[in-house]
Structure 1
Amino acid sequence: MEKKRLSDLPDELLLKILSSLPMFKETLATRLISKRWKGPWKLVPDVMFDDDDTPFKSFETFMSFVYGSLLSTDAQILDRLHLKLNQNYSASDINFWVQIAVNRSVRELRIDLFGKTLELPCCLCSCRTLKELTLHGLCIKIVPPSFRLSSLEALHLLSVKFLGDESVASLLKICPVLEHLVVDQIKNDNVKISNIDVPTLRNLSIRNSKGKHGKRTYVEGSNGFVIKAPSLTELNFEDTLSNFTMFEPMPEVIKANIQVICDQSENFIGSLTSIQHLSLCSLTSKTPYPACTVFSSLKHLELCTCSAGWANLLACILNAAQELRSLKLKSKHSAKYSDPMSLWKEPTVVPDCLSKHLEILEWRQYEGTEQERNVAEYTLANATCLKMATFSTRCRNKNHRMLKKLKSMDRVSKTCQLVFD
């Protein structure tokens, strides 16, 4: 009987044999690998397997390439593995590929499944080198309580669906040293209230929107986030869907970019007691912090002027931010709202930040409305230390009436430079 070599077997049969081997037999599989998988298929430190690439004309060709690359005897340390899988693959295939990456001391892992379900590979529990995990376009199964990602520092959840509210919390609980979290939801999700409770978290970025970037869409029912991250230093929170948000005290946050649509409780930006840089867009009709709040460290404020009550919110913040050095006003959204414009209520006492500290005023999309003229006039008349006031308008005629009015406004600071761009 003629003996057949492993290399004589069809790709489909050979892949079936290799994929059925237990993960701990990787060394044996490497020895059995076909000669046709040697040479050009050498694993580089940063590799992506995408079954939608043109060279892969068939499922078998792609599988041959993946196994040939990962099982190469010349394989070295693997810094990053990206699996971009449009077709259906068994859990054993994905587990096998991830196991090899773990054996290669992988530091970053990304899995894209385009709407399919993922069960986290159990081999990740034994991985001591994995620092960053990105999951994109998939549904994740409930994570067992015993599962641990003990070295994971950064987690990116991009269009990830969960089986229920507790799945979000359970996933975060298995990451005991997590410092960076990104949550990007751009479609309707089945989780109504997302609980983010991570004591070690330093950087949090959340985007919860639908359709075009920044478009606001009101939803019915209770939808939103409860965030408890006492060690957080930087927050990027864009939520144009939720009608409920709660921030627990976050005394370490120094920089925050916040865009929300819902009326907030006093435990909103009032929890950011050490904030230094704040970019805020809010439709709230209430001051989103207790009346006695003082933002003693706030030096730079960017406020969106798209809401009806932006001017009065500005007045409140100016009183609370006694050390403010720079102020930027900008309309980030062009949407029209039904609420009537709240007229500017001039502060009875000039805020300390205007009379003692404000040096830079930058106003983008200045339209010259009555509301805007009143705020501009008050600021220029009371900002004693102002060095530069920049107004960006759509008007290119230097003799336009709007620009003439700005130029004629009294400036208490004799060194203030008025700039138009």
Structure 2
Amino acid sequence: MEKQRLSELPDELVLKILSSLPMFEETLATRLISKRWKGPWKLAPNAIFDDDDKKRKSFETFMSFVYGSLLSNDARILERLEFKLSQNYAASDISFWVQIAVNRSVRELRIDLFGKTLELPSCLSTCRTLKEVTLHELCIKVVPPWFRLPSLKTLHLLSVTFSGGNSVSSLLETCPVLECLVVEQTKDDNNVMISNIDVPTLRNLSIRSLSKGKRKKSTYVEGSNGFVIKAPSLTDLNFEDTLSNFVMFESMPEVIKANIQVICDQSDHFIGSLTSIQHLSLCSLTSKTPYPACTVFSSLKHLELCTCSAGWANLLACILNAAPALRSLKLKSKHSANYSDPMNLWKEPTDVPDFLSKHLEILEWRQYEGTEQERNVAEYILSNASSLKMATFSTRCRNKNHRMLRKLKPMRRVSKTCQLVFD
């Protein structure tokens, strides 16, 4: 009789009843829903539930599809589960769905809420199979002190905001074995400033804190660091900050590859902690040396320097003197220059660095414009790099016979085997 009365209720009410069932009643819920909806409920190893899908014509139809799929008797192991939820759903619904995924040994979970608030499902604290979580366009108001992600290795926070005294660091404290962290925010996000990151197990870190407007240079203020990154096990760093959110890197002796883009004058210890760096891509709107004067990057073999700032040439000269093993150098303007400092003319070093005369093999210069300063730098490198094998130049117009490129041909090349290429 109970099943008959349940079958007479509206779909929306039936779904609410099922979502409120205790988790140990999942078998009962499966039987009930299999009687109610006869659709082919078979959950694939990778399941995506999108309520904006044209095939789901109503709220009730979408809900029935989610419940029917997740409660299917055929679905045992769930590799990846993704929700794209533009409509409003009760926290109990989302928690129920996630609980079923946890029961089915889910490994990857992604939740998109289009700006709405997420109540962190408590069942995740006991999930030992979950390795990767992606949260997109949502707000987290509460990170309970008991909440944990015990086996999580990878966390993506994409346009995720925090309130109620919580922050990125509040969530990181719940991840005891985290190895990869990706944080992306824009100036339009509320509470955009990133807090301290202190994760001893972290190996890969990517932070993109970007404004949607033009890059504007800002001045570093001593003692006004927005946040500190403390990750002694880090090996790969991608850091892009155009919001003047000052940063301080603590000791990172394991980092071998880094892409760093900042707009503010940094302290003289900014990249000094990257003592084992091998690949460095750097964009800074300052001509100041962002590391102590005695620093030596003995392992640095590949350097890419952005030429969008007024003082890029002198910054290059400083780094060249600190990188005795450099083998390849790439110069490229990644951004439209928007700074007020006057151009700092190239000051040719009095002594030729050892790497330039012995080790540099590859020079690649993109967006070469043929200014007086660029010609002076090019001439200095070509006339001193005795081991240079290839020097490639290209302009924005992509004209291989452009007049500014033709002026490079007569420049003295100390390396007899250097091939000059116009790309």
TM-score (norm 2): 0.95
Flag structure 2 segments of 5+ consecutive residues without an equivalent: none
> Which residue of structure 2 aligns with residue 150 of structure 1?
150
> Which residue of structure 1 aligns with residue 80 of structure 2?
80
CA contact (8 A) 1:37 1:72 kept: no
CA contact (8 A) 2:235 2:255 kept: yes
Deviation at 1:106, TM superposition (A): 0.3
Deviation at 1:36, TM superposition (A): 5.1
Matched, 1:348 2:347: no
Flag structure 1 segments of 5+ consecutive residues without an equivalent: none
CA contact (8 A) 1:219 1:243 kept: no
Matched, 1:293 2:295: yes
Change (3 A) 1:286 1:158: same
390, 393, 404: which one aligns with 2:392: 390
> Which region of structure 1 is more displaced relative to structure 2, 392-401 or 124-133?
392-401
**CA distance in structure 1 between the aligned counterparts of 2:3 and 2:350, rounded to whole angstroms:** 97
Cα shift readout 1:247-284 (whole Å, capped 9, x = no counterpart): 11101000000100011112211110000000000012
Change (3 A) 1:322 1:2: closer
Superposed counterparts of 1:262-277, under 5 Å: 262-277=264-279
Partner-residue secondary structure (3-state), 1:207: strand
> Which residue of structure 2 aligns with residue 25 of structure 1?
25
> Which residue of structure 2 aligns with residue 203 of structure 1?
204
Deviation at 1:163, TM superposition (A): 1.3
CA contact (8 A) 1:42 1:74 kept: yes
Cα root mean square deviation, aligned: 2.0
> Which residue of structure 2 aligns with residue 363 of structure 1?
365
CA contact (8 A) 2:237 2:257 kept: yes
CA contact (8 A) 1:275 1:295 kept: yes
> Which residue of structure 1 aligns with residue 61 of structure 2?
61
Superposed counterparts of 1:154-233, under 5 Å: 154-163=154-163, 166-186=166-186, 187-211=188-212, 215-217=214-216, 224-233=226-235
Change (3 A) 1:166 1:228: farther
Counterpart of 1:86, as a letter, is S
CA contact (8 A) 2:158 2:183 kept: yes
Partner-residue secondary structure (3-state), 2:381: helix
Counterpart of 1:257, as a letter, is N
**CA distance in structure 2 between the aligned counterparts of 1:20 and 1:414, rounded to whole angstroms:** 78
TM-score (norm 1): 0.95
408, 413, 418: which one aligns with 2:415: 413
**CA distance in structure 2 between the aligned counterparts of 1:244 and 1:67, rounded to whole angstroms:** 46
**CA distance in structure 2 between the aligned counterparts of 1:40 and 1:304, rounded to whole angstroms:** 55
Deviation at 1:224, TM superposition (A): 3.5
Deviation at 1:300, TM superposition (A): 0.3
Partner-residue secondary structure (3-state), 1:34: helix
Deviation at 1:50, TM superposition (A): 0.6
> Which residue of structure 2 aligns with residue 336 of structure 1?
338
Matched, 1:314 2:316: yes
CA contact (8 A) 2:159 2:189 kept: no
**CA distance in structure 1 between the aligned counterparts of 2:231 and 2:268, rounded to whole angstroms:** 17
> Which residue of structure 2 aligns with residue 252 of structure 1?
254
Alignment identity in percent? 83
**CA distance in structure 2 between the aligned counterparts of 1:216 and 1:284, rounded to whole angstroms:** 13
CA contact (8 A) 2:393 2:405 kept: no
Matched, 1:43 2:43: yes
Change (3 A) 1:2 1:133: closer
**CA distance in structure 2 between the aligned counterparts of 1:12 and 1:166, rounded to whole angstroms:** 34
CA contact (8 A) 1:149 1:175 kept: yes
How many residue pairs match? The answer is: 419
Partner-residue secondary structure (3-state), 2:407: helix
Change (3 A) 1:164 1:405: farther
CA contact (8 A) 1:44 1:76 kept: no
> Which residue of structure 2 aligns with residue 381 of structure 1?
383
